[in-house]
A and B are shown apart, each in its own frame.
Chain A
Amino acid sequence: MSRLEAKKPSLCKTEPLTSERVRSTLSVLKGIIASCYGPSGRLKQLHNGLGGCVCTTSQSSALLRNLSVTHPILKVLTSSVQNHVCCFSDCGLFTAILCCNLIENIQRIGLTPTTAIKLNKYLLGLSISYLKSEACSCRIPVDFRSTHTFLNLVHSILTSKPACMLTRKEIDHIGALILKAFLLTIPESAEERMVLGKSIIVPLKGQQVTDSTVLPGLLIEASEVQLRRLLPTQKSSTLRVALFCASLSGDFSNAGEGTLVVHYQVSLENAVLEQLLNLGRQLVSDHVDLVLCQKVIHPSLKQFLSEHQIIAIDRVGVTLMEPLSKVTGATPIGSLYPIVSTTYGSVKDVRSARFGSKYFFHLLPNEATICSLLLCSRNDTAWEELKLTCQTAMHVLQLTIKEPWVLLGGGCVETHLAAYIRHKVHNEAEAIVRDDGCSQAELHIATEAFCSALESAAVSLEHDGGEILIDMKYGHFWSCPADSASVGNWPDTLSRCGCGLYNSQEELSWSVLRSTYHPFAPQTCLPQAASGSVSNLTVDSFTAKLSGLQVAVETANLILDLSYVIEDKN
């Protein structure tokens, strides 16, 4: 019996942002994200409530991946942040916080969406052009002759992820490893198009973080028994490699439909095995020294190969196939039919290695930009977080090659930028209004909303009730305990600004960030010393932060522009 159900009409809501429910969920989401921000951010336990594994994290990528939001507005927000994280790895929390702040602020001031969007776009353009200009004093050029800036960048990323549970010593160790892995992925000779290699993270849980290491080449996990059978290779020259992606297990799973009836004297298995052995004979006559197989190799074929001094490594797994092909130069072979000799590749050597409780085959390439980062951590939770962090750090390092700058971190860019915009708008309001066609009052309100959104993103770095100050010379970010916020002893309690570039001993004056300060022109040229001498600078990726700023403003604009939500209820 078939039943026909009438379709439900679609549900249409106007002005979704004005609804109380949307506002409250948005503020819950903002609360979750803002409380994760920065080195002293609070962690979140994510689990399914049914005894599944518990993920403890403060990173946007892990958080948003596991967070299931229902409202379309929240979906727009989370998906655009996720897209940003996909492309740039870093600054996801910043993007989300800034976006939420902008939406909240604009709603409060009651500008019409069109005006607000237009002015936001203008202010975004102003920010971007300032950050990209030579005059910008938050931007430090990357000095490729030293590891200084790179290490600062990596350290800043590592310290901002407290769920990794790293001590200072461990941060130094991991930071150095990440940098080393990054350098190993850069090809020695740069041709016209440089292609960066890949570093593969190999898990080794249960060990101390300081046991982590970086090795050139690839590590293939194996059992102890497999490794004990690995004899030292006799050849001094390179080893010839055959790489199979087809299964060599000797089964015939693709027999097709229907039933196959076979005479008892005919053995299909033996027939397939005979084919495999033929393949083995060809490998022998082609002087192959190493056979790698993504799937399983039949034990008899393995025995045959080892009798002919060919090393066979099977069950390599699909994830290693691409790097293997890159390292060896071999083309993966997908069938058992005679092999063309051009598909073979080569490696310099195969060794056995043992780390902790795990055993590995270590493939040393002739010349390739692939390395393995053997990452150790005491337990699963911290390992997952550390892995994500390392991936972020390596990605961010790669981004610096394209745009060789870093931005000051620790909240200083945000406060400085806000001060710059305030000053600029204050001084040039008439000219701006003339071009844009809105009233001066509107411009000032929108600027205030934009700047305070930036500033509250910086304030989100503070989680223990401290007071945030801004200095009146550089416009940098300073924090102090709430109770010692009396003006007199500021030079003593404030030792360094958020990014660590300036210290409180140089005749500065401060203002509490929450209060309105008189617009001033933050000093725009970067001290020469910045790029060299200060060793513990907190810096952010230039590319990621800039994109985060853009994504945040554009997403906020998109959400502000929404006037209907139409839901299909069927």
Chain B
Amino acid sequence: MEMDYRVLNRRRHVGLQQLSSFAQTGRSFLGPVKATKFITDAECHESVLVGSTVRLLEGLDLTCAVGHLLNEAVQAQNVTYKTGASTLLFLVGAWSRAVEDCLHLGVPTTVIVSVMSEGLNSCIEAVVSLQVPIHNVFDHIDNTSTVYKLETVDVSLCPFLQVPSGSGLLEEKHDFKDATSQLLSTYSLSGRRAKSPEFFKPQAKVETENTSQALKNNLYTDSFCRKSALTHSRHFNRTENSHWISRPDGFLEHLRSTPKVLRCNDLGELAVGLSHGDHSSMTLAKAAVRLQWQAVCLQPANCMAPFMFDISRLLTCCLPGLPETFSCVCLGYVTSVTMPSITLIKELQDQPFRVILIEGDLTESYRHLGFNKSVNIRTKSDSGQLSEDSTEELWTNRVLEVLIQFNVNLILVQGSVSEHLTEKCMHSKRLVIGSVNGRVLQAFAEATRAVPVAYVTQVNEDCVGNGVSVTFWTGPHDINRSNREILLTAEGINLITAVLTSPASAQMEMKEDRFWSCVNRLCHALKEEKVFLGGGAVEFLCLSHLQILAEQSLNKGNHACLGWLPDSSSWMASSLSVYRPTVLKCLAGGWHEFLSAIMCNTATYPSAVEASTFIQHHVQSAADSGSPSSYILSEYSELSSGLFHSDISNNLELVPRVYDTVTPKIEAWRRALDLVLLVLQTDSEIITGLVHTQMNSQELDGVLFL
């Protein structure tokens, strides 16, 4: 792991230097091509593979105050949005260097704080022009959904799944090409351009079932079918409101003359744009969204309400040791069970299960939260002291009685389960599954009308749910193997399990993180109904915007910048105009570094200098054009290919759009700048509870005692 240790100079701002050196560690996680790192413990020689900023910071020892604040900021971003942590970390570094530069130039702290935060606000207002609205992405989903009549969605249909994540440049390009061809085949008339037989099959199916599906939908409601039946043809639908047209030979042509109204109304396009280089995870995420849409909206009762993707009804089940192609999403709950249960399930497979849901542990000693057990109470029987075994036996019998009385043969338990009881249940052909997530219980409660209870003794007829089916999870390839995974599902259940597989168990955590990051990106985009035009376009606009602002304030002097109120202090008002251009340039420098780091990471440009020249050239042209945002829109293909994959751009029009989430991105910027400015404004560190003797003389340098 490369790490840049700057010498912390005491005469300069130590906190900012610490920030920038911490942030250097996350540099390689920026952009679509991410390099993984090993964190090794020098003492016990254990190592962890990390592939994301959050995991990296978890593995680092950030005990100093600034490190603590950095960790807090990254964690807060991660908890709230599950994405944007790398952007945050990198910008923290870039901006703390920028602020240091300002300090070297003699800009007063107060001015830096004021101009930088106003500059960022102004950028945030400017990038609104690059927002792409998302419209009715689910309108086009229902014809493809016929493919997924089976409960298991086969993602291996998509040819680019097998590319391992984190691969190098070559595969990355291949990925993009495939993504493009995927788009192509989606937009062209079905079948004609389909490359693989796998792809052909579902397409054909769509054609045959199109009409009937449309009719069926009409029976439910006309909410999906307000347009003519032809809207279900992707081909005609696309031409209707986008600037792609299809030539007779099946190739697409980009119409430069059409007005550039940006919009996104295809889930597939959105997902590819938001995948940020991780197509396999995004394909799964997309499939999960589609499956939930199907589960929720195709229910006759629900179809009137607008569909909102509910991320809390998505679970992951990690199966290390299987090839990556086994990854898939399934409707229902996939979990591993013990060997003895498998024989039982084989016997019971075809019959519907009656289920109860237990919120706590299923053990004799379990008591609900907040129940304080008395220590000084002992139970005695007629023949003396009652042993623990016999109390357990008594309890087990009582539980079994209840189970028999209500004819329950499936028990889902949130906590742990008594082994003795599991055995007994096995004998009487009842399946007990422990450590079930609370969300799973909730989903089954809704689907089966079971009421979760804390104790078995609470069970009455109203608490028992009906109609759960238990089958073996076979995976998308239907291979006979001694698997231990089962799939639990019920009619109308709104619960999706994403089964993630990886041959290397060290990679498992990373794969899971990436999947969640994709799901969250998609979820945010759908929730906000807008995305940013990504691939560096937003950062690029900020750069040009700041350049223009800096020039304006240079030319017009004091109160030039509209919308910036003169500060009430006269000192500030006069200093601001002097230093504003300098500070704005330093702020822009952060985004400049960001873009060139992405370009270096994707290896589009071998050196930072070349990347920098490319950026500088386009920033200047954008600023000269008068309207940076329309410059970016018109030059988007060239820009994004320049940023990511300049060599394949023979056909510039076919570069797929890259998208970014809106709020998480802006919040990452804000958090990064807030942290830097917070550290900048801090002039001393007060350590409480220290004793003179605890510090050696070297550390005492510059320390004052009270």
Contacts and interface: CB of A to CB of B under 8 A. Distances in A.
Contacts of A357: 79-80
Interface string A30-68: 001001000110111111110101101000000000111
Given A47-B687, A67-B688, A498-B569, A381 B69 contact: yes
A480 B571 contact: yes
Contacts of B697: none
B424 interface: no
Contact of B690 (A49, A315, A462): A49
Contacts of A47: 65, 68, 685-688
A69 B706 contact: yes
A463 B110 contact: yes
Nearest to A42: B683
Nearest to B367: A251
B555 interface: no
B575 interface: yes
Interface in B395-447: 438, 442
A294 to B, nearest CB: 11
A328 B336 CA distance: 49
A48 B689 contact: yes
Contact of B370 (A42, A296, A495): A296
Interface stretch (B127-135, B607-615, B671-679): B671-679
B208 interface: no
A268 interface: yes
Contact of A51 (B68, B373, B674, B690): B68
Contacts, number: 227
Contacts of A56: 69, 678, 682
Contacts of A493: 570, 574
Nearest to A496: B570
A251 B376 contact: no
B624 interface: no
B650 interface: no
Contact of A45 (B65, B73, B457, B671): B65
Contact of B372 (A40, A253, A257, A300): A253
A28 B706 CA distance: 7
B509 interface: no
Interface string B363-406: 00001111111101111110000100001001000000000000
Interface string B446-457: 000001111101
Contacts of A260: 374, 376-378
Interface in B63-78: 63, 65-66, 68-69, 72-73, 76
A250 B454 CA distance: 13
A337 interface: no
A74 B688 contact: no
Q: Is the interface of A mostly helix, strand, loop or mixed?
A: loop
B651 interface: no
Nearest to B385: A261
A66 B683 contact: no
Given A44-B682, A378-B76, A481 B571 contact: yes
A267 to B, nearest CB: 9
A17 B438 CA distance: 65
A42 B681 contact: yes
Given A43-B681, A49-B687, A25 B706 contact: yes
A504 B379 CA distance: 88
Interface stretch (A123-131, A159-167, A238-246, A278-286): A159-167
A65 B231 CA distance: 67
A253 B451 CA distance: 30
A142 interface: no
Contact of B72 (A43, A303, A381): A381
Interface in B319-377: 359, 367-374, 376-377
Interface in B543-578: 565-566, 568-575, 578
Contact of B108 (A205, A380, A465, A504): A465
B685 A45 contact: yes
A464 B110 contact: yes
B263 interface: no
Contacts of B369: 296
Contact of A495 (B108, B117, B570, B670): B570
Contacts of A315: 370
B113 interface: yes
Given A42-B681, A42-B683, A249-B370, A263 B379 contact: yes
A382 interface: yes
Contacts of B686: 32, 44-47, 66-67
Contacts of B113: 40, 162
Interface string B642-663: 0000000000000000000000
A295 interface: yes
A16 to B, nearest CB: 15
Nearest to A469: B570
Contacts of A529: none
B570 A479 contact: yes
Contacts of B689: 48-49, 68
A250 B571 CA distance: 66
A32 B687 CA distance: 13
29 contacts: A28-B706, A32-B686, A42-B683, A43-B678, A43-B683, A44-B683, A45-B69, A47-B688, A49-B689, A56-B69, A162-B113, A163-B681, A224-B442, A249-B368, A249-B371, A251-B371, A253-B372, A253-B374, A260-B376, A261-B379, A262-B377, A262-B380, A264-B380, A378-B670, A381-B72, A410-B569, A495-B570, A496-B568, A496-B570
Q: Which 7 A-B pairs have the closest CB atoms?
A: A296-B370, A299-B454, A464-B108, A479-B571, A42-B683, A206-B80, A40-B110
Given A47-B68, A259-B376, A260-B378, 10 more contacts: A35-B683, A39-B569, A47-B686, A47-B687, A261-B380, A264-B394, A303-B453, A465-B108, A481-B571, A481-B578
Interface of B: 63, 65-66, 68-69, 72-73, 76, 79-80, 108-111, 113, 117, 121, 312, 359, 367-374, 376-381, 386, 391, 394, 438, 442, 451-455, 457-458, 565-566, 568-575, 578, 667, 670-671, 674, 677-678, 681-690, 704-706
